[in-house]
Amino acid sequence: MAGKHLSQIVAADAAGIALAAARLRAGGIVAVPTETVYGLAARADSADAVAAIYRAKGRPDFNPLIVHVLDLAAAEGLAIFDARALALAATFWPGPLTLVLPRRADAALAAAVSAGLPTIALRCPAHPVMRTLLAETALPLAAPSANRSGGVSPTRAEHVAKSLGDAAPLILDGGVCSAGLESTIVVLRVDGWQVLRPGPIAEAGIAAVLGSAADVTTSGRIEAPGQLASHYAPGKPLRLGAQSAAGDEFLIGFGSVAGDYNLSPNGDVTEAAAHLYAALHAAAAAPHARIAVAAIPGGEIGDAINDRLRRAAT
Ligand code: AMP
Ligand code: MG
C-alpha cells in the first residue's frame, strides 16, 4: 500500500512527549506506549478526535474504547465509583486493570467513546510516558490498541508502524511493553462483578478484594461489546497445543517445546505474556504458511494468554 511507512517514530523523551501532548490537545491521534500494549490515543472529550481513532483502526463503531486517566480524582469526574470500585482502584491503580462503571451524566466525554453505552471503561495506567502525557494534557485519553481492528496488538513501536502505517502519523517509542497483554476488564454490576476480559491482573486477585464472583447473575445480558470471537488474528491458520511443527508451520514454543520463537524457555507464563504478540508478529512475517503454538499452562496470566490464542486461532 502506498505510504504505508510514512508514520514518524520519535523517542519518548521530553521533546517527543511535548510534541505528542501538543498533537493530542489539538485533537490529533498519537500512538503511545503503555505497560500493556501500545495504544492509539486521542482526547476522549472530542467527538472528532475519537472518530479519528475508529477511522485509523477500521474499528466498528459498536466496540467501545477504554479511557485512560491520570488518577482516581480524574476517574471520579467521569464515572460513579461505589465502595467496590474504590477498593479495586486503591489496590490495582495505577496498573493494568480497567473498570466498567456507570458513566456520569455530566462527564465531559464524547458519546462515541463508549459506543453510546451508559457505562464507561476506565483505566489508570502505570507507564511513565503515558502518565506524563495524561499530566501534560490534563485530558482523559481514549486509547485502544494501536493496530488495525482485529489484528495482532503491538508491543513495540515497529509493530504499530507496520500495522497502521501512515494512519498513525506519530508514534512515541517507549521501548517494549512490559506486561504485553491488554488490561484485565472488570464490570461492576449491582448484583455482582465479572471479568469481561482476562489480563495481567488475575481474577483471583480481584476476588481477593471483592469476594467471590459466584453471586453474579450470569443472565443473558452479559454484554461485552467488541469481545469478538475472532481477534488478534495473525493472518494465517493457527494451531494450539502443539508438541512439534509440521513442515510448513512456524512453531511458537514454550518451556521444553523449543520452537522457532520460544515464549519462555524457563516456562515462565509472565515472561510468555510479554513475548506473545512479538512472537505472533514474527510468525506472521515468516515464510511459513501456518502457525503452531505450544500449550501454555492456565491459571494467573496463563488464562489471559490462552484467551488471546483462542481468538487468534478463530
Ligand atoms: P481495547 O480494544 O483494548 O480498547 O478494549 C476495549 C474493550 O473494552 C472493548 O472491546 C469492550 O469489550 C470493553 N469495553 C469498553 N467499554 C465498555 C463498556 N462500557 N462496557 C463493556 N465493555 C466495555
Ligand atoms: Mg485491541
Amino acid 191: pLDDT? 85
Q: Which ligand sits nearest to residue 57's alpha carbon? A: 2
Of all residues in the chain, the percent with pLDDT exceeding 70 is 93
Identify the CA nearest to 39 among candidates 125, 132, 99: 125
Overall average pLDDT of the 218-224 stretch: 46
pTM: 0.93
Question: What separation in Å is there between the alpha carbon of 260 and the centre of ligand 2?
Answer: 25
Identify the CA nearest to 72 among candidates 51, 56, 57, 93: 93
As given in the structure block, the three cell numbers for residue 100 are 466498567
Among 19-28, 125-134, 226-235, the range scoring the smallest mean pLDDT is: 226-235
DSSP per position, 128-142? HHHHHHHHHHTS-EE
Instruction: Report the residue among 32, 68, 100, 148 best suited for mutation to probe ligand 1: largest number of ligand atoms under 8 A from its CB.
Output: 100
- pLDDT of residue 273 exceeding 80, the answer is yes
Cβ–ligand 1 distance for 60 under 6 Å, the answer no
Q: Which ligand sits nearest to residue 185's alpha carbon? A: 1
Domains of the chain, first to last: 8-210 (3.90.870.10), 238-313 (no CATH)
pLDDT band at 51, cuts 50/70/90? Answer: very high
42 alpha carbon, distance to own chain's centre: 15
Amino acid 7: pLDDT? 82
Instruction: Report the residue among 196, 232, 311 best suited for mutation to probe ligand 1: largest number of ligand atoms under 8 A from its CB.
Output: 196
Identify the CA nearest to 280 among candidates 12, 37, 30: 37
Question: What separation in Å is there between the alpha carbon of 57 and the centre of ligand 1?
Answer: 15
User: How far is residue 14's CA from residue 28's CA, in Å, rounded to a whole number?
Assistant: 19
Q: Residue 55's beta-bridge partner residues?
A: none
Residue with CA nearest ligand 1 atom 1:
144
Cβ–ligand 1 distance for 185 under 6 Å, the answer yes
Question: What separation in Å is there between the alpha carbon of 292 and the centre of ligand 1?
Answer: 29
pLDDT band at 50, cuts 50/70/90? Answer: very high
Identify the CA nearest to 155 among candidates 132, 127, 136, 131: 127
Collapsing DSSP to helix, strand or coil, 39 comes out as: strand
Ligand 1, residue 103: give the atom nearest the CA: 19
pLDDT band at 36, cuts 50/70/90? Answer: very high
Average pLDDT, the chain: 93
Q: Reading across the β-sheet that carries 30-32, which strands appear in turn? A: 8-11, 170-173, 30-32, 39-43, 141-142, 66-68, 119-123, 97-102, 184-189, 192-197
- pLDDT of residue 223 exceeding 80, the answer is no
Question: What separation in Å is there between the alpha carbon of 64 and the centre of ligand 2?
Answer: 11
Contact present, 306 and 202 (Cβ < 8 Å) = no
149 alpha carbon, distance to own chain's centre: 12
Q: Which ligand sits nearest to residue 118's alpha carbon? A: 1
Cβ–ligand 1 distance for 145 under 6 Å, the answer yes
User: How far is residue 188's CA from residue 103's CA, in Å, rounded to a whole number?
Assistant: 12
Cβ–ligand 1 distance for 44 under 6 Å, the answer no
Collapsing DSSP to helix, strand or coil, 101 comes out as: strand
Residue with CA nearest ligand 1 atom 22:
224
Query: Is 221 exposed, middle or buried, given 0-12, 13-18 or 19+ CB atoms closer than 10 A?
Result: exposed
Residue corresponding to grid cell 469476594: 211
Collapsing DSSP to helix, strand or coil, 100 comes out as: strand
Amino acid 224: pLDDT? 59
Q: Per residue in 154-166, pLDDT tens?
A: 999 999 999 999 9
- pLDDT of residue 232 exceeding 90, the answer is no
- pLDDT of residue 187 exceeding 70, the answer is yes
Instruction: Report the residue among 53, 66, 153 best suited for mutation to probe ligand 1: largest number of ligand atoms under 8 A from its CB.
Output: 66
Pairing between strand 39-43 and 119-123?
A: unpaired
Residue corresponding to grid cell 472488570: 186
Overall average pLDDT of the 95-100 stretch: 98
Amino acid 217: pLDDT? 47
E-strand stretches of the chain: 8-11, 30-32, 39-43, 66-68, 97-102, 119-123, 141-142, 170-173, 184-189, 192-197, 238-239, 249-253, 261-262, 290-293
Pairing between strand 66-68 and 119-123?
A: parallel
- pLDDT of residue 2 exceeding 50, the answer is no
Collapsing DSSP to helix, strand or coil, 210 comes out as: helix
Overall average pLDDT of the 31-59 stretch: 98
Overall average pLDDT of the 140-147 stretch: 98
Amino acid 221: pLDDT? 44
Overall average pLDDT of the 114-135 stretch: 97
Q: Give φ, ψ of 82 to 5 degrees.
A: -95, -175
Residue with CA nearest ligand 1 atom 17:
121
Identify the CA nearest to 171 among candidates 146, 151, 141: 146
Among 6-10, 217-221, 229-233, 306-310, the range scoring the smallest mean pLDDT is: 217-221
